[in-house]
Structure 1
């Protein structure tokens, strides 16, 4: 009996040592990832700051005191001084203003300097978001969360601004969209898989998103959401049955060769799980929608850990709220929409 107890204790001690070694290695790796994240943000902040300096030079040279020049200067200063939680919006406004500048009004050297500044922002942002993705992939693993190996460090956040590659870019015009968080009886959400059709070579990154699209003239938000639901999945529901809008997301991104500024309003609806049909897809949707998947919170976390973007970014953590809203007894009082990313 004593020998058995000694053997069991030895095995237990070995397991504890292995767990402690793994935890130490993982914590050390997390520390390196957070250092990389901090350095990537410093590099991005520096690149954005340099672009703001160049933008003021462009304002002085291209507009020479005209109102457009004063506005561009003000936007550059606002972008430099914006707090982190408002930086994306400020930088996107600056991007839109810079896109309106006619390069013919600038010296060749200044055009080259502006192009270089924008290229540096593009590279720094991608490097930063890669660091965010890698850090979150490890931080959000269940053992890491349970053992609190991330310590008290805040979760890193992506930095999403439109990437412009041409001085001929049209001004970014807001487009209102209605989207549906479509839930099944088990609380999973239907996500569509898509990619940018402008890439055209089959190598474009793929991302996951909720059902929805642009509001057409004369439609209410709920009517647009119900129409998009029918077109993209085949499911027909009354607009009045949709709950919301409950969330709002403002996003600027490149799509199909253009810069899109999408103001997205989210509704919630629950249905029995079904197999969506693509018969109502437009020609463009057939080009960029590649499939679908019903995802619970775990599946969403797995997609993110694998480096696949899920929009909205907070969907996984807000899924419980969406299910609670779907289960709330009628009538449902309209409340303020939650701003998400």
Structure 2
């Protein structure tokens, strides 16, 4: 075969390779645009949810009120060119809210909404960066491989300042036996294995779960005692506490419900989670006199004085320590 034929074949091969590169680049650019659009949709949804939570906060926090609600509505309605200043104004106003005055369930919801905004903004920023990087290549620009797809834009908004304390609303149960004794577990913080304390059954409220349902669920999981949520009395007590567990700091709010052990029922801890198995050593029933006499740490701290009268609850929610 002559040299000219080799040159023709080499040229054809080069054109094929170039064609493959162009098709691959165009497909990659199309996928990046799809990724950017999906990231924007997720960011838009996260910002919309934050605005909804902000309106809920405005109905409770006297220091923000109408101004916070107006900023939330402005952020929701803002067109793309006006979105950045509107969202930044809402971020600044939310940062000024005194969250200690809010119900912890709402604090947790707001913290979750802000965390989702942070994550969604970073994902969107990464998608925009990768798309623009490919669009700016000379070959892509000269050959117009991006087609008619609009160039994506960053959303330059300030990230909310996330608190180091994790909000943790919890539902607990003061479970009494036929003698009026209360069930308590003895456990410890895995970061401080040598320090133990006694506490009632209960745990964190899951997303979308109401307090009463959470208390009933936790009771089943930790004691095996099945009681419908409607049979729980209360909440009778509310306890706000800052604590650490496993090296993390929590802003806790505990709501206590009252329940009586059904006749013939026994405590079954086989439903413990792995963490509970590792950190809870025992359980037992305590009388008010035993609680008054013990030198061990018990939570709530006022349990000994509150226990005798709890079965005659008058319908008043009482703050406890």
User: Which one has the largest radius of gyration?
Assistant: 2
TM-score, length basis structure 2: 0.49
TM-score (structure 1 length as normaliser): 0.46
